[in-house]
Amino acid sequence: MLTSQKSVQKLERGTITTPAGFQVAGLHSGVKRKRNDLGILYCNTLANAAAVYTLNEVKAAPLYVTKESIAQEGKLQAVIINSGNANACTGDQGKKDAYTMRQVTAEHFSLQAHHVAVASTGIIGLQMPMDKIVPHIKKLKPEATEDSAAQFGQSLTTTDTFKKSTCYQATINGKTVTMAGAAKGSGMIEPNMGTMLGFVTTDAVIESDMIQLALKEVTDKTFNCITVDGDTSTNDMVIVMASEQAGNETLTPKHEDWDQFVTLLKNTCEDLAKMIARDGEGATKLIEVEIKGAKNDEQAIQIGKSVVGSSLVKTGVYGSDANWGRVIAAVGYSGAVVNPDTIDMAMGPIMLLKNSQPVHFSEEEATAYMDNETVKIMVDLHVGDGVGKAWGCDLTYDYVRINASYRS
């Protein structure tokens, strides 16, 4: 089933293996007690690749290995991923283990080592159980099936409550170009980036430096616009791989369909970002904040993240309390340019403020609206043309429960 969205279409049953050339697998190695904890993303040819990483100064060992791999040629053929152990703050042994994961994967699939990336997520500060991981890497048999995509999706998760994936298609040069993504993340989320891993596949013909250009632009408007708890993790990365099997002309910003490619990437990343925000640990609701009339787009996003990151706003949404005072306070301390006399605000269809003056509204209607699974907050500052969105989730009792017992 295809759902139209301008000239880009969403494939409701597409998976990360829908773009030509990609296969995946996932299995249980014993790092976690029950669920899959080891996965592989594999391309049947060398793929052009790019990535973005956490801004946390403390970075996990796999990030250094992956950066080194991509920097050598800008190409990858496989990504080996584990969950349950972050391999972060593990010293020299952690780096040796990440390199071992890369080398064993390369040997198993007859690849050069620098054509393999490594990604890990889970508990920080524990040495990797390599006696479990190494033999199971050799058991990975990637396929391009819905079942293998489901097994792969589960292998990424830690406290996630559902697998996150999406897929889009567009016509470029008369050729069908497909893009898909899979991700994990539900806590320690404040991208620049958060404890999230994202993997995007496409069969578009595009060079690595052009993927990097588009990814940087799109990340700032998607993954970097979500927050669950304001904590920036040590392990975050998003990797994009292009198999170049769609047959289109090589994409650059000068190509007439460049915007099509960027839209494919933006839609894919935005879907994954919203899923991560919606799946915040213990969350019951997705919060979407739309800012209009800011000084510029950057400040609009800054304000949006201030609102969606406010613990008081988040708890108010959980309790279905239309306490707009918490929202306007978060706008005011965002650090962006604000005129305190010109702010309009609404929650969904319910107008709350006009020119910073309260508008009479029905508390019953507001509560009924805020009982929805998605709560949208709109703020118009009337100080410029800047627009932006940010996403987050409510803050619940379960967030405390989950994080109080994460290691036990």
Q: How many CA atoms lie within 13 A of 324 on its CB side?
A: 24
Cβ-in-10-Å burial (0-12, 13-18, 19+) of 70 comes to: buried
Q: Under a CB-based contact definition with an 8 Å cutoff, are residues 98 and 235 in contact?
A: no
What span, in angstroms and rounded, lies between the C-alpha atoms of 206 and 241?
10
Describe the chain by its helix, strand, coil percentages, rounded to 5.
35, 30, 40
Q: Under a CB-based contact definition with an 8 Å cutoff, are residues 168 and 2 in contact?
A: no
Q: How many residues does the chain have?
A: 408
Q: What backbone torsions phi and psi does residue 152 show, to the nearest 5 degrees? A: -65, -45
Q: How many CA atoms lie within 13 A of 372 on its CB side?
A: 16
What span, in angstroms and rounded, lies between the C-alpha atoms of 387 and 389?
7
What span, in angstroms and rounded, lies between the C-alpha atoms of 209 and 259?
16
Give the number of other CB atoms < 10 A from CB of residue 134. Answer: 18
Closest CA to 202 of 178, 218, 170: 178
Q: Is 166 a catalytic residue?
A: no
**3-class SS of residue 203:** coil
Catalytic residue among 90, 195, 202, 219: 195
Q: What backbone torsions phi and psi does residue 240 show, to the nearest 5 degrees? A: -115, 130
Q: Under a CB-based contact definition with an 8 Å cutoff, are residues 182 and 152 in contact?
A: yes
**Catalytic sites, residue numbers:** 195
